[in-house]
Amino acid sequence: MNNPLLEPFDSAPFSKIKNTHYLPAIKELIEVTKREIDAITHSSDAPTFQNTVEALEYTGLQLDRVTSIFFNLNSAETSEKIQKIAQEVSPLLSEFKNDLLLNETLFKRVKTVYDLRDTFVLNPEQQMLLEKQYRGFARNGANLSEKDKESLRKIDTELSKLKLTFGENVLAETNLFEMLVTSKKELAGLPDGAKEAAAQTAKERGKEGWLFTLDYPSYIPFMKYSENRKLRKKISLAFGSKSFHDDKLDNKKNVLEIVKLRHQRAQLLGYRSHAHFVLEERMAETPQKVESFLNELLEKAKPAAQKEFDELEEFAKELDGIDRLQKWDGAYYAEKLKQKRFDLDDEKLKPYFKLENVIDGVFGVAKKLYGIDFKEIHDIDTYHPDVKTFRVTDSEDELVAIFYADFHPRPGKRGGAWMTSYKPQQIKDGINDRPHVSIVCNFTKPTSSKPSLLTFNEVTTLFHEFGHALHGMLANTTYKGLSGTSVYWDFVELPSQILENWCYEKETLELFATHYKTGELIPMELVEKIKDSSTFHEGMQTLRQLSFGILDMAWHGSDPSEIKNVKSFEKKAFAETQLYPDVEENCMSTSFSHIFQGGYSAGYYSYKWAEVLDADAFAYFKKEGIFNKKVADKFKNYILSQGGTQDPMELYIKFRGQKPNPDALLKRAGLLKQ
């Protein structure tokens, strides 16, 4: 069979790929990679850095590219066929990974190089690669007995299947829910854009009226603006109870199985818990440090959050006689209070944030900071007509990266927003292979009368994901395993979160925030209001983020084998951060994809951890000027281009000249007096 995935390619050949190509290609490339590894293990030469560690780093390049294409599509453009293939492919890859990490002969060679490391002349990046490889083997079972290795293989195979099933169930539940409104009266309070989008969705699905879904661009405006409390409750309950219905899409059993298997795996490898295993390779280092970090922030945020909640409840009572604020009331009354307090309405801002203009804006920021240009191109294959492609070049017109952007919801696309890669950056045989990087979002689609207009929150989301993309695009390391976002998980959010800060600055907004009809620049009083309102309900927002981090650590920080009931366990974990009355029908864990499907298990705290870094780093930009070339060059040279080549704290200190100061975050959040 002529299989495009087995041919050499630069950009992903999407239009040539059929679903039937994936499984044969992945099976074949696993065998190819095994032969590459055999060549290393069967070498009669004494192990050196070059013939063992570096040679291993360069194995499986095509396999990595093909699997990244496949799993990226399983997130951004999936189907029942792709999901079925994923269930076949995942165990194969899990088994292959274990074959590699449990290969005694290979580990002996790597260990020999590691033990003799002081006799080799290695630069810091080579030292880091050696350290990472050696730890990868040691931490993943290379020293286990044959019996324990077999147990590890079984656990990993089972986990790979469970995580996929978890994600498939959440996506299916999201796609299943539809709320059809047939009476115009029941749309009271909703902005025209939300009504028009709902009418378009209904029409697309062959229905009369206005159709609302659990996709963010549909769900969030409804929760924020709908005056119909009964319907707000209905859609809120659906959103909060995804995969919690005791049916075939239920995830309760999957959650319990995943956490138990992760714990068994950690114990097998000699760790007290999954969190102890994970955090050994994080800036935070231990569960105790994470818990004290979360508790310290909780102590500072909780009084502010309680005060904000009490004010909001009082406001709802005065306005509509609501005695007890429920979860489906929060966004609605918060938006009303925000409008009253700051005379700022998200809907009044949206005309200034046409998607195409915001894209130009984020490109403009990247040019001013890092001297790179983006040019849309149409000769690169994409997996969907919505996907835009760009050639990224430096001041010498040299290629920096290929950039893909996919902005709107579809039934085959999971919710949320993320950055990913189709080709890694590396230097091999003297050639600097430039990366192919993608961001995927779920923003409001254009309608027949309006372009895609973003809420301010969506603007910050775009900047956030683009910050991750810059980390990938500006990577400049020798080894792909240390390139771009291949850094400690609690460091990876620094480039994304710091870029959000530019959204609040007048100098940035002047680059792109013009009215989509009149071309008028956003009025400066609106810019001031955006800044003034940036810490609105920061206490409640912080508490919400902390609650997710605490829940994650509760699941992964101790032995879960006695947990019988997902909901009651979650309720207990949320006790310290709870403001709203508990909703019995809801359960977050059953759709908490970050920790049960993605890579954030025992790592959700990293959003807050990185906020400390980003607030401190942006304070430096603010002091010197947000487009200061010297500071931008330091950020590019020490953070964005270095990937995981050095310890993240060392890189941060090289950029900043000091360790991060947590007070910067608390000041920015208004939780500490300036």
Active site positions, annotated? 465
Say which residues have a Cβ less than 8 Å from residue 429's Cβ, sequence separation at least 6.
none
CA distance 414 to 493: 21
Each residue of 549-586: b (16+ CB within 10 Å) or e? bbbbbbbbbbebeebeebbebbeebbeebebeeeeeeb
CA distance 153 to 406: 36
DSSP 207: -
Say which residues have a Cβ less than 8 Å from residue 543's Cβ, sequence separation at least 6.
298, 301, 302, 305, 577, 579
Query: Within a 13 Å sphere around the CA of 638, how many CA atoms are in the beta-carbon half?
Result: 18
- Length in residues, the chain: 674
Q: Which strands make up the sheet holding 399-406, listed edge to edge?
A: 373-377, 388-393, 399-406, 436-440, 418-423
SS3 for 518-540 is: CCCECCHHHHHHHHHHHHCCHHH
CA distance 618 to 607: 16
Chain centroid to Cα 290, Å, comes to: 20
Q: How many C-beta neighbours within 10 Å does residue 19 have?
A: 13
Strand (E) or helix (H) holding 436:
strand 436-440
Say which residues have a Cβ less than 8 Å from residue 104's Cβ, sequence separation at least 6.
142
Strand pairing category for 399-406 and 436-440:
parallel
Do residues 502 and 369 touch, judged by C-beta distance below 8 A?
Answer: no
Say which residues have a Cβ less than 8 Å from residue 526's Cβ, sequence separation at least 6.
344, 348, 349, 352
Do residues 206 and 164 touch, judged by C-beta distance below 8 A?
Answer: no
Do residues 589 and 565 touch, judged by C-beta distance below 8 A?
Answer: no
CA distance 640 to 490: 15
CA distance 356 to 379: 20
Here the contacts of 145-148 (C-beta below 8 Å, separation 24 or greater) are 148/268
Tokens found for residue 301: 């945020």
Strand (E) or helix (H) holding 292:
helix 287-320
Chain centroid to Cα 514, Å, comes to: 29
Tokens found for residue 636: 């590019």
With both helix axes pointing from N to C terminus, report the angle between 538-556 and 252-268 in degrees, rounded to the nearest 10: 60
Chain centroid to Cα 256, Å, comes to: 23
Angle at 190 between CA 184 and CA 191, to 5 degrees: 115
CA distance 439 to 404: 6
- DSSP for 556-618, written as a single string: HSS--TT---HHHHHHHHHGGG--SPP-TT--SGGG-HHHHTSS-TTTTTHHHHHHHHHHHHH
Each residue of 380-412: b (16+ CB within 10 Å) or e? bebbeebbbbbbbbeeeeeebbbbbbbbbbeeb
